Structure formats: C-alpha cells, structure tokens
Amino acid sequence: MNAKMNRVKNRMPIAVLAVLVFFLGVFLTEVCAIADEAEQVVKITAKRYEYNPNTITVKKGVPVALEFTSLDRLHGFSCPALGIRTDIAPGKVTTLRFVPQQAGTFPFHCDNFCGSGHDGMTGTIVVTE
Ligand code: CUA
C-alpha cells in the first residue's frame, strides 16, 4: 500500500465521525422542537387581589406548565375541578404541571388568606378541544 492510500484511509474515521455528529445535531434539534411543542408554558403573576392573566387558555391533551410569581405576599392557586393547587410564595417561580383531560371552563381561586380582597382573587382556566 502506498503513502497516498494510507492518508485516505486515515481520514475515513474523521469523515464518518463528521457525518455522525451532523445527524446527531439534526436529531437533537428535532427532539427540542417536539419538546417545545409538547408543553404550553403560561407565566402568571399574583398580587393582592388578582392574577395576571386571570383567564388561562390551554389545549386539551397538551401538557401545561403554569409558572407563578407573587409580586407581594403568599397567595395560593386552587382549581378544584382540575384537581390542582399550589402555594405561590414571593421571591421565586413556582411551576405547576398538569395535562388537561377535558374541555371546558374551570374556575380557580386564591386559597391562602391574603387580605380584604382575598375572596375576589379568582380566575378561569379555559380548556379548548
Ligand atoms: Cu391571594 Cu388570597
């Protein structure tokens, strides 16, 4: 075997590796795209005595991540019809994940007493087909 042939042979693994890395990149990009599509992220702020937004629209069967931030004190989030609740403490993001299984309109409310307007601290989750 001459020197030229040897050089070609030595480059082969690099070429194979380059092709593999390329396809790995394509694969990971696809996976990330699917992951993005598969979760509905909704950012919600809570403060005396309101949520913003207070109407949350999501799609049935698509996982949801609600990301809560309190702007003042401890609040709560409770949606009994969907069986979900969490405390919303100030100074951090609280993430609540669920998968809506039925379409409809479901009320939620604050369930940590937060002052005179506590009873009016409410909102609605709308699950569409
Ligand atoms: Cu907010 Cu009670």
Token duo for residue 115: 């002052």
Nearest CA to ligand 1 atom 1: 75
pTM over 0.85: no
Asked if residue 113 has its Cβ within 6 Å of ligand 1, the reply is yes
pLDDT at 30: 59
pLDDT at 8: 55
Asked if residue 68 has its Cβ within 6 Å of ligand 1, the reply is no
pLDDT at 34: 55
- Distance from Cα 118 to the centre of ligand 1, integer Å: 4
Cβ distance 110 to 44 under 8 Å? no
**Residues in the chain, pLDDT under 70:** 1-37
pLDDT at 6: 59
- Distance from Cα 52 to the centre of ligand 1, integer Å: 13
pLDDT at 17: 43
Distance CA 33, CA 65 (A): 17
pLDDT at 27: 43
Three-state secondary structure readout of 12-28: HHHHHHHHHHHHHHHHH
Ligand 1 atom closest to Cα of residue 48: 1
